[in-house]
Amino acid sequence: MARDRCLVFAENHRLYRHDERGERVYYSSAGGSQ
C-alpha cells in the first residue's frame, strides 16, 4: 500500500504540528496547513 508522498516527506522532515487533540497536522509544500 503506497503512502502519499507528501505525508512521507512531511514525516521525514517533521513538517507537522500537533493540534489540541494530539492529532498530527501536516503542512503542505506551499507552507499552509492541510
Strand partners, 33: 27
pLDDT tens digits along 1-34:
466 777 777 667 677 777 889 888 877 655 544 4
Q: How much is the pLDDT for 32?
A: 47
Query: So what's the pLDDT on residue 28?
Result: 63
Using the 8-state DSSP alphabet, how is residue 34 labeled? Answer: -
Instruction: Give the pTM.
Output: 0.33
Decide: 8 and 28 in contact? Cβ < 8 Å. Answer: no
Q: What is the structure's pLDDT at 2? A: 63
